[in-house]
Amino acid sequence: MNKTQKAFNFAGKSGMYDGVITGTGFFGSLVSNLVWKMDKEKDLEYQRLAKKGVPKDFDGSLLEVPVGTGILTMPMYKKLPNADVTCLDYSEGMMNRAKDRAQDMNIKNISFVQGDVGKLPFKDESFDFVLSMNGLHVFPDKDAAFSEIFRVLKKGGVFCGCTYIEGECKRTDWFINKIYVPKGYFNLPFDTKESLEKRLKGMYGEVEVETVISEACFKCVK
Ligand SMILES: C[S@@+](CC[C@H](N)C(=O)[O-])C[C@H]1O[C@@H](n2cnc3c(N)ncnc32)[C@H](O)[C@@H]1O
């Protein structure tokens, strides 16, 4: 198991992850304010922008990578009973929480696959939609992740989500480089807003990128 898998297995099993990613609870809101310079409103804003490309009545095939504990997406899947949802992550500790959450919410149209985004176990053009929230700054091999996501997306399909970008807030960048990277929660190198836009425009036909401080939210059409 590598450093990132170990870090997220611990985060998932310990139960600390959900508060931190949603900026809720004492520790979660402290991290959100101190590290990300975000309040509740900004937290909700980036989460909304990251998912805004998913149609309210979506009924196609959707891949979420990485699903983590599913805290940010299970409520949305609950409202998409006709979608065919596949969730992938390589940390068992995180994904077991997502599975439990889906079961507790009685979500039936969902399956879970443990795997590596750099080697997705799906055929070319398998999905109408790929959603990736807070993952691209974590994946150790970013080029492989971007190219695998592109490969499994159908022509005309949509790729949307959010990722950390460097260069927007010095305080955030400091915490990321001094704490998150050494612990394995984030992996270098990081995109800036400009490099992310350039990368996505080099691959996709239509690209929109909006930022909430150091979170870039994107929607791309293949
Ligand atoms: C910050 S969490 C994001 C989870 C979720 N999307 C969210 O926003 O709450 C990052 C996740 O990426 C997963 N991960 C890291 N590297 C991966 C890889 N190469 N393939 C698949 N999942 C990976 C971790 O296990 C972790 O669950």
Give the pLDDT confidence of 162-189 residue by residue, as tens digits.
999 999 999 999 999 999 999 999 999 9
143: CATH: 3.40.50.150
User: Is pLDDT above 90 for 12?
Assistant: no
Q: What spacing in Å lies between the alpha carbon of 138 and ligand 1's midpoint?
A: 7
* 90, 181, 217: residue to mutate for ligand 1 pocket, most atoms within 8 A of CB: 90
pLDDT in tens, 59-79: 999 999 999 999 999 999 999
Number of structural domains (the chain) is 1
Structural domain boundaries, residue 38: 3-221
The pTM assigned to this predicted structure is 0.97
Q: 6 exposed, middle or buried (CB, 10 Å; 0-12, 13-18, 19+)?
A: middle
Q: What spacing in Å lies between the alpha carbon of 44 and ligand 1's midpoint?
A: 19
Q: What spacing in Å lies between the alpha carbon of 50 and ligand 1's midpoint?
A: 15
Q: The tokens of 216 are what?
A: 């870039």
State which ligand 1 atom lies nearest to the alpha carbon of 95.
Answer: 27
